[in-house]
Structure 1
Amino acid sequence: MPENIMNWIALGDIHQSLNFVSLIPEIHDATGIIVTGDITNHSPLGAMEKFWETISDKNPNILAQAGNMDRNNVTEFLKNKNANLHLEFRELAEGIKIMGVGFSIPTPFGTPGEVSEKQLGQWLEETYKKIGDYNQLILAVHDSPYNTKLDMLSNGQHVGSHSVRAFIEKVQPDIVVSGHIHESKGEDVIGKSRIFNPGMASGGGYVLITLKDGKLEATLKGK
């Protein structure tokens, strides 16, 4: 890979199905892997260890966060690996920062990683205050923004987060990668922000984020 080009693979909604590693041709050579949430299904014993072993064998540079299907032990595991992104930020390259907020607003299924809209909004604001100056910003968020192409159920109902949308409208991150709503794989825009939902990882969907000559670009990839 040329020195002036860096690539990150962003995906989510793994749900313990790790076959996706064979569906991503860039996984070995990518600068790193970004996981937006739902690594497990209620975090059974050994699930995170299997996830870590499988992914780190292909690419050891991992940043990840819990989704609504993950329990608190997921965040603790990631912290111990210095890989947690939930409520944290990293500088991926000079002037290029990423911030993460996992979990989701309440669902009809009573999953373990659900919080109120108010809490999600507070987390977004509090994490943003930590990051300081930047030139370009990536937001990794598990819940998709409300009333977009990324938050629709199969019946057309929008079920995304109002607080995530409000934050994007206010801050205008350059690139947003979300998930949560499996059937709404796609891309959209909110103002100047390009927003993506790559769908379930097992379906081969991911976002290829590229930094070339100081400019961030993103492409929705996979089936």
Structure 2
Amino acid sequence: MKYDKYWIGIGDIHGDPGNVARIPGVAEAAGVVVSGDLTTHGGVDAARRVIDAVRRANPVVLAQIGNMDTAAVGRWLEDEGLSIHGQARELAPGVGLVGVGCSSPTPFGTPSEVPDERLGELLEQALALAGQWDATLLVAHDPPHGTKADLVGARHVGSRAVRAFVERVQPDVCLSGHIHESRALDFVGRTAVVNPGMLAQGGYAVIGLAGRTLTVKLRTL
């Protein structure tokens, strides 16, 4: 399919952004969207190094914290005008993005975990800021529960709040991450749910716009 515009979706960078420059067509993309986990318990300096590397590949970057990033990273992304956590952005005329970072609680006590219902509240906050769009990209670091994108072994560990939001709102595409071993493309109703896995392992997504139709392809280097 020939796109009018496309964006590169990545996540779970964990301080190792080297592969971003190797993504085919990254420089020509309309931007790069980072679903979360820029660092591993890292602060602003670590996050800045990641964002700088992504900007060298493509100057247009939107990003949010994952559960492994500190609150200071979230504040820095806001100060830089990059944050999509609890926010809405217009990507193109009639096409928008809503975002929610962090994650629901994990067994590991990572820096930016919140109650699952808080993820739902942040999604509603973002939706309230959204325009009347023909197509919507949801960027949720924590994948929707009960999909191929949230499996650890045979157990689904994703967010029930994100799942409920996807079922109700039916965004065209949901870019997620968080569960490294669950690199997958799945559907919840008409919503394509993609988890590219870790960037260091070569995973990325191409989110394409043709007319007012938004689609996604899962890719690996």
For this structure pair, what is the TM-score category when the shorter chain's length is used for normalisation?
A: over 0.9
**Where does the alignment leave 5 or more consecutive residues of structure 2 unmatched?**
none
Q: Which amino acid aligns with 2:208?
A: T
Match of 1:85 in 2: 84
Distance 2:127 2:211 in 1: 25
Cα contact 1:43–1:73 (8 A) shared by 2: no
Q: CA deviation at 1:19?
A: 1.7
Q: Which amino acid aligns with 1:190?
A: V
Q: TM-score, normalised by structure 1?
A: 0.95
Match of 2:73 in 1: 74
- Deviation digits for residues 122-143 of structure 1, max 9, x if unmatched? 1111211111311111000000
Distance 1:60 1:77 in 2: 17
Q: How does 1:1-223 map to 2 (within 5 A)?
A: 5-44=4-43, 46-153=45-152, 155-223=153-221
* Count of matched residue pairs: 220
Cα contact 2:64–2:100 (8 A) shared by 1: yes
After superposing the two structures, state which structure 1 stretch, 77-86 or 28-37, moved more: 77-86
Q: CA deviation at 1:45?
A: 5.5
Cα contact 1:198–1:206 (8 A) shared by 2: yes
Q: 4+ residue runs of structure 1 moved beyond 4 angstroms?
A: none
Cα contact 1:146–1:159 (8 A) shared by 2: yes
Q: Secondary structure, in 3 states, of the residue corresponding to 1:183?
A: coil
Cα contact 2:43–2:73 (8 A) shared by 1: no
Q: CA RMSD in A?
A: 1.3
Cα contact 2:44–2:73 (8 A) shared by 1: no
Cα contact 2:35–2:176 (8 A) shared by 1: yes
- Deviation digits for residues 45-83 of structure 1, max 9, x if unmatched? 520221122111111100000000001111122122211
Q: Secondary structure, in 3 states, of the residue corresponding to 1:209?
A: strand
Distance 1:179 1:209 in 2: 15
Q: CA deviation at 1:168?
A: 0.3
Q: Identity of counterpart residues, as a percentage?
A: 42
- Deviation digits for residues 77-105 of structure 1, max 9, x if unmatched? 21222111101111111110001000000
